[in-house]
């Protein structure tokens, strides 16, 4: 960079499909970005693993590309923020060599270990009181017990257990460190006190020394080693901050850093994320409570496993001709489908869709749940079905919002992001179903942008995370609710809520037929 140019900060997001790196200046402008992909391994049904070395090579390649694209000199980059897929487990031996492939967030092998954790903790309610959340197969703690139960020789070699982004931190800085937002997803953090739960670790017979020191998200956790600095074309003066798990990092990138602001993200899955100044815990564990990437704050989160994924399934399986037509016309097929859905009336003439194509997490935590249309008649068209999918996903997200309301977490503004936010129809459906104004913002860069902001805070460009977000993020579009549509959805939502309990036992019976 030429003399007089601004400081630059990198955000690195170690995702499931690939690693994304972006460079941002201190005004929040993106200078360059790059993405490097890698495989996911499924050695058995319901297993999901990756090689940590693939993450590291993708980090090297993406950083080098960004440095070249933005024409950065070694001294230009002042800080790096790290984000990544949550809940994964990297097992290291005494020589810091990986013991086995990392087990990922979407791996489902640990049902027995979840039961073991609950039993050792003294029951589900006691476990939630300890770590704010129930035991779920995606979390890290069950994976650790699985290794101990099924691969004991490998477990005996383990000296450190790191989360995916924290393995990259070790490679960058030589330091063992994590931070509170990602650590919350291990199920081993005392979320209220923002430190490892010695009580649960003791019950599980796990040594606290297996885990990295826990920081706040904007804290400096180290600087680049000389070797890594040379490898990346950067300087040993470049600091690496705590960063955040991908959900909290994405929230920072959307400006969800103050009381009353909630985000909805409709990608493959759907996430409803709300900032909280205080610890709010759902006593029955329907939604997650984690530490936020904002110092001393928390967040609550509901997750729906097949949000945009439901519409994607419908497109792939039932709209193949439209996909080909869109390709020929160089159009986006979702725009064609949205136009068709727009012709259907509010409520889709009494047609409901349950978006449980991958089971469900919030609020039911039921892997046996199945997707279904309820209320089909001869009068319904494909457009009704498309709109019902959009409405069903939004009803599902409203269930999380209803839990937040019941727990006294205020929501004054809803910010929409992800692929669903790009659809004017889906934004309007969200506003109408939620009964609140939905806004969009000036950036859609996600977790990598959020942790670049955290790096800027850690390097001193901003006083705190809120100041960083206020300086770089702004609302660009507002969608108010339609009063007539809101009245309809308010009548229909209780009916939607009754459908899962009515079908729950049938879902289990259907699942038994498939085994």
Give the pairing of strands 195-196 and 239-241: unpaired
* Cα–Cα distance for residue pair 112/365, rounded to 1 Å: 15
* Cα–Cα distance for residue pair 250/311, rounded to 1 Å: 22
**Superfamily name with CATH number, domain 308-442+477-507:** ATPase, nucleotide binding domain (3.30.420.40)
User: Domain spans of the chain?
Assistant: 8-254+443-473, 308-442+477-507
Respond yes or no: is residue 277 known to be catalytic.
Answer: no
The low-confidence residues of the chain, meaning pLDDT below 70, are 1-5, 515
Give the pairing of strands 18-25 and 8-14: antiparallel
Q: How far is CA 465 from the centre of its chain?
A: 19
* Cα–Cα distance for residue pair 183/197, rounded to 1 Å: 11
∠ CA 380-382-388, nearest 5°, is 75
The pLDDT value recorded for residue 2 is 46
E strand segments, 418-493: 438-441, 475-479
The pLDDT value recorded for residue 395 is 98
Give pTM, 2 decimals: 0.89
pLDDT digits (tens, 9 = 90+) for 138-147: 899 999 999 9
pLDDT digits (tens, 9 = 90+) for 12-28: 999 998 999 999 999 99
Q: How far is CA 170 from the centre of its chain?
A: 22
Contact call for residues 462 and 295 (beta carbons, < 8 A):
no
* Cα–Cα distance for residue pair 418/40, rounded to 1 Å: 23
H or E, element range at 106: none
Contact call for residues 128 and 285 (beta carbons, < 8 A):
yes
Backbone angles phi, psi at 186, to 5 degrees: -80, -20
> What is the fold of 8-254+443-473?
Nucleotidyltransferase; domain 5 (3.30.420)
| Long-range CB contacts for residues 68-71, cutoff 8 Å, separation at least 24 | 69/23, 69/31, 69/32, 69/34, 70/1, 70/8, 70/23, 70/31, 70/32, 71/1
Handedness of CA 191, 181, 49, 310 (dihedral sign): positive
Mean of the per-residue pLDDT values of the chain? 94
Q: Do domains 8-254+443-473 and 308-442+477-507 have the same CATH topology?
A: yes
Q: Residue 438 has which token pair? A: 């939905």
Active-site option among 13, 76, 190, 246: 246
* Cα–Cα distance for residue pair 457/216, rounded to 1 Å: 12
Backbone angles phi, psi at 110, to 5 degrees: -105, 25
The pLDDT value recorded for residue 461 is 96
Cα distances from 55 to residues 13, 226, 356, 369, 453, in angstroms, run 10, 20, 31, 33, 22
Which string of b and e fits 289-324 if b means at least 16 CB within 10 Å?
A: bbbbbbbebbbbbbbbbbbbbbbbbbbeeebeebee
């Amino acid at each position: 960079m030429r003399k007089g140019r601004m400081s630059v900060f990198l955000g690195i997001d170690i995702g499931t499909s690939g690693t994304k790196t972006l460079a941002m200046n201190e005004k929040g402008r993106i200078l360059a970005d790059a993405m490097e992909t890698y495989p996911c391994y499924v050695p058995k049904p319901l297993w999901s693993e990756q090689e940590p070395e693939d993450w590291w090579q993708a980090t090297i390649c993406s950083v080098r590309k960004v440095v070249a694209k933005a024409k950065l000199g070694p001294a230009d980059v002042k800080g790096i923020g790290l984000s990544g897929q949550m809940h994964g487990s990297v097992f290291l031996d005494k020589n810091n060599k990986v013991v086995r492939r990392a087990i990922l967030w979407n791996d489902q092998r640990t049902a027995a270990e979840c039961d073991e954790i609950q039993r050792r903790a003294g029951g589900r309610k006691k476990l939630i009181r300890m770590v704010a959340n129930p035991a779920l197969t995606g979390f890290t703690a069950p994976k650790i017990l699985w290794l101990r139960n099924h691969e004991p020789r490998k477990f005996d070699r383990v000296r450190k257990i790191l989360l995916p982004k924290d393995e990259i931190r070790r490679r960058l800085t030589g330091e063992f460190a994590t931070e509170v937002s990602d650590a919350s997803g291990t199920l081993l953090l005392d979320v209220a006190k923002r430190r490892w739960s010695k009580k649960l670790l003791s019950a599980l017979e796990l040594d606290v020394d297996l885990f990295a020191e826990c920081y706040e998200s904007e804290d400096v956790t180290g600087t680049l080693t000389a070797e890594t600095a040379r490898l990346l074309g950067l300087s040993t003066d470049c600091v690496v901050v705590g960063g955040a798990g991908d959900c909290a990092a994405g929230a920072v990138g959307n400006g969800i850093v103050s009381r009353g602001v909630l985000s909805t993200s409709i990608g493959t899955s759907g996430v409803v994320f709300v900032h909280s100044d205080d610890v709010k815990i759902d006593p029955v564990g329907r939604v997650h409570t984690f530490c936020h990437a904002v110092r001393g704050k928390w967040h609550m989160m509901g997750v729906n496993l097949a949000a945009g994924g439901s519409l994607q399934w419908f497109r792939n399986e039932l709209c193949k001709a439209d996909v080909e037509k869109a390709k020929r016309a160089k159009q986006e097929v979702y725009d064609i489908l949205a136009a068709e859905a727009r012709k259907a009336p509010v409520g889709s003439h009494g047609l409901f869709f349950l978006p449980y194509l991958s089971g469900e997490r919030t609020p039911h935590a039921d892997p046996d749940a199945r997707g279904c249309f309820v209320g089909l008649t001869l009068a319904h068209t494909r457009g009704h079905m498309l709109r019902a999918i959009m409405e069903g996903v939004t009803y599902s997200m409203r269930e999380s919002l209803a839990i937040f309301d019941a727990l006294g977490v205020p929501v004054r503004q809803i910010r929409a992001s992800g692929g669903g936010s790009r659809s004017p129809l889906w934004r309007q459906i969200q506003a109408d179903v939620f009964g609140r104004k939905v806004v969009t913002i000036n950036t859609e860069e996600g977790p990598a942008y959020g942790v670049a902001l955290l790096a800027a805070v850690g390097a001193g460009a901003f006083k705190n995370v809120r100041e960083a977000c206020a300086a770089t993020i702004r609302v660009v579009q507002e969608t108010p609710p339609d009063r007539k549509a809101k009245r309809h959805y308010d009548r229909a939502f209780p009916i939607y809520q009754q459908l899962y309990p009515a079908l729950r036992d049938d879902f289990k019976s259907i699942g038994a037929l498939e085994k």
